[in-house]
Amino acid sequence: MNLESDYLIIEMAQETYKHEGILELESDEKLQDFEIAYTTQGHLTTAKDNVIWVIHALTGDANVQDWWGGLMGEDKFYDPAKYFIVCANLLGSCYGSTNPLSNHPETGETYYYDFPQLTTRDLSKSLDLLREHLGISQIHTLIGGSLGGQVALEWAYLLEAKVNNTVILASNAKTSAWTIGFNETQRMAIEADSTWGSKHPEAGKKGLEAARAMAMMSYRHPEDFALKQTDQVEKLDNFRIASYLRYQGQKLANRFNAFSYWVLSKTMDSHDLGRGRGGTAQALSQIQSKVLAIGVDRDLLFLKEESQFIAQHAQKGSFREIKSSYGHDAFLIEYGQLQYILSSFYLESNTL
C-alpha cells in the first residue's frame, strides 16, 4: 500500500502484510514467513500525524467497526474523515493472520499443536514490522482493550516517542493469577473434549463452547445477569441463563477455533510488561507517551485497581472509570461514557 498521498479512500481497505523472514520469539522459538491481515480506513495527512491504531481483544478481528462501531466510523468519535484508522488481526488469530491452522512454510503441513508460543511482546514486535511496512513513523493514538490493551502497552514501551497517546481499556501491566486461573479452566475444558489432540480444524470445538461459556461468567457482572437472565416464572430446569451461555458458546465455536483460542489465551497469560525490565512499575515509568488507563468499576476479570496501577506508574499517566453493570465487556458497550472520557483526555492534553 502507498501511504504517500494526502488523501486515501474512506472505504475500509482489507489487505495482508506478508513478512518474509524470521520473527525471533521470547520463547526462543521462531516464526517464519508470517502474514498479518489488516484494515485501513480514512486518509493520512501530509504530516502523517493522524494515525489511530486499534488492537482487538481475544476473539476480535481487523474489522474494527464490526465490534467497536459505536466508537469507530463515519460521524463517530474516531471518524475516518479525520483520522487514518489501522487495525490488524493479531498473530495466532484465525481471521487472516498466521495461526495454528496455517501451513508451516518449510514443511507445507498445518501447524496444529506445533504452533509456537506467542507473548504480548512478540505480538507488539510483529505489529511494529507492519507499521514500518506501512511507512508510519508516528502514531497519534494507540488504543486497545483487554488482550488488545496488553499488547498496546507492550508496543507503547517499544515505540518510545513514536506514539503520542496510549489508551488502555480494561487491561493490566501484568496478568494476575486470577485471570490466568480463568484462562486455565477454559483450556481444561478444551482438553476434556475427546477430539482435542487430533489433527483436524474442528478439534476441541465442543470444549471451546464450554470455554466460552466459562469466559462469559468473567466478562459480565452478576448484576448484569440478574437483570437480563433471571427467569420470570418459577421452574426447576431449563433456566434462561443456561440457554444464554450455551448459545454464546456455540456462537463463538462457529466463528473461531480452539487452536487460536488456546494460543491467544496463553499469550494473555504471558503478559508481564516488567519482565526483564526491572519490574512492572519501572517498565511503566519508561513509556514516553501519554497513557490513559480506563477501568470498569464492576470488572471481575481485569480489576479497576490494575488500571489505576498503570496510571500511577506511567510518567504521563491518568485514570478514568467506566461505571457499568456490564462488567468487563463495558469497554465494548458503553460508548457514551467512552466518548466523554476520551474527549476529556484529549482536551486536557491538547491533542484532539
Catalytic residues: 146, 299, 328
Do 289 and 240 contact (CB within 8 A), yes or no? no
Residues 201/206/208/212 CA torsion (nearest 10 deg): 150
d(CA 284, CA 240) in angstroms, rounded, equals 43
> Which residues, at least 6 apart from 58, have a Cβ–Cβ distance to it below 8 Å?
146, 147, 261, 264, 265, 268
Which set of grid coordinates corresponds to residue 212? 466460552
Strands 139-145, 51-55: pairing kind: parallel
Distance CA 140, CA 238 (A): 50
Per-position DSSP letters for 182-227, written without gaps between them: HHHHHHHHHHHSTTBTBSSTTTTHHHHHHHHHHHHHHHS-HHHHHH
Nine-digit cell at 350? 491538547
Please tell me the distance from the alpha carbon of residue 93 to that of residue 101, in angstroms, as a whole number: 10
Q: Which residue's C-alpha cell is 464490526?
A: 66
Cβ–Cβ under 8 Å, residues 128 and 158: yes
Instruction: For residue 23, give the 3-state DSSP assignment.
Output: strand
Could you give the angle at which helices 240-253 and 205-219 cross, rounded to 10 degrees?
A: 120
Closest CA to 58 of 212, 225, 251, 238: 212
Residue 89 CA to residue 127 CA, distance in Å, equals 9
Q: What are phi and psi of 18, to 5 degrees?
A: -110, 110
